[in-house]
Amino acid sequence: MVEHIQIQGIPPKIQYVADGETLTYEFPFAIFEADNLQVYFNDELQASTSYTLSGSGMTNGGSITFQTPPPQETVLTLVRALEIKRTTDFQEGGALRASALNYELDYQTACQQQIADNLNRALVLPPYAVDTDITLTLPLPVAGKAIVWNATGTNLENSTIEVNALESTLKTYVENAQQAANEASESAQEAAEATDTAIAQAQAAMQQAAEASTNAANASAAAASASALATSASESVQEALDRLDQALEELPDATNVPALGTNGLYATTQIDGDRWSREYFSDSAKTQRVFCAQGGYVEGNADSVVLNVPFSNTQYTVQIGVRNWSGTQTAWHSQYAFINPTTTGFEFGLASAMERTWIAFGV
């Protein structure tokens, strides 16, 4: 009894990576005729004249032998390719031969395996997809377009973007962004230079204010009593502030500095007993302080000073004046240096039992 082909449950495809030496490659699935097998080198279908086939009609498959070895690293694909058709036509009342029936069933089973293998490489929805409105029908091909989901995610459509031009478009975007970044960097540099100019002019104004405050301190020392001293100190504060305003008015091109705004500097004055301060801002909202002058006096034996308003850093200047024993004049002494500056105060570098007047300048 002649055995018929038995179609086994294995995929009708096998692949190899050629080593450049091997001539013979096996396929484990059954084929009915020699032309049921297709052979590919990468994506190129090979003519059947380039190899010899054995094992046609065998359940366990067969092999092919090339005349020359496939090139090294070539992906070699052997796949069964059947024509989907009936192989027999059973007649009414005719003989139902087992061999014909088995052949037909084997052929149809092999066709179903072929279809299943093709479906594995097809565009399909996953088994857990629940939206029955989704369709996978492809749109008609349009050159240069990509296939994308529509706005509702239910159908496929061609993109509106030229995919081939996407690289050049992105390059243009990147170049524009780089140019914008460069321009922003240049603007930041210009702003930094304007800030440096404003600081230099502010420092010059601070120097003039220091000179004005020196005169104010000398005037405030004329009081003979503690009450007169307080009154003179208040008057000296006002005089110092007036001189500071005058110094700013005499500052060349002060109102032309971009960082100072169209109306020049904006000032805030605070007087708190034996301390006073005046802050100068570049904006009318008084959020961008340019510099600050402040001062006051302390009783003898005081070892530190609390600033009227905090400085933004410790890089500020302090001048200290000491009243003589007669109490009629204040002299500014360099030996009475200040130490341990913080943003809220400083300490005297030399102890003294005499009253001291101080004035500080900074940002």
Instruction: Summarize pLDDT for 146-186 with one digit per residue, the tens.
Output: 999 898 888 899 988 888 877 777 888 888 988 988 888 88
* 237 lies in some domain: yes
Cβ burial of 248 (10 Å; 0-12, 13-18, 19+) is: buried
Taking the C-alpha atoms of residue 260 and residue 247, their distance in angstroms, rounded to an integer, is: 16
In three-state secondary structure terms, 338 is strand
Same domain, 113 and 205: no
Strands 147-149 and 75-80: unpaired
Residue 88 has pLDDT above 90, yes or no: no
Residue 275 has pLDDT above 60, yes or no: yes
How much is the pTM?
0.39
Residue type, 309: V
* 111 lies in some domain: yes
* 1 lies in some domain: no
Q: What is the mean pLDDT of residues 133-151?
A: 88
User: In terms of residue numbers, what domain contains 146?
Assistant: 126-165
Strands 266-272 and 156-158: unpaired
Same domain, 132 and 222: no
- With cut-offs at 50, 70 and 90, classify the pLDDT of residue 262: very low
356 membership: H or E segment, kind and range: strand 356-362
Same domain, 150 and 225: no
Same domain, 342 and 293: yes
* 174 lies in some domain: no
Cα 129 to its chain centre, rounded Å, is: 36
As beta bridge partners, residue 291 has 280
Residue 255 has pLDDT above 80, yes or no: no
Same domain, 274 and 155: no
State the distance between the two ends of the chain, measured CA to CA, in whole angstroms.
Answer: 110
Taking the C-alpha atoms of residue 297 and residue 273, their distance in angstroms, rounded to an integer, is: 10
Same domain, 70 and 137: no
Residue 145 has pLDDT above 70, yes or no: yes
Question: What is the domain count for the chain?
Answer: 3
* 7 lies in some domain: no
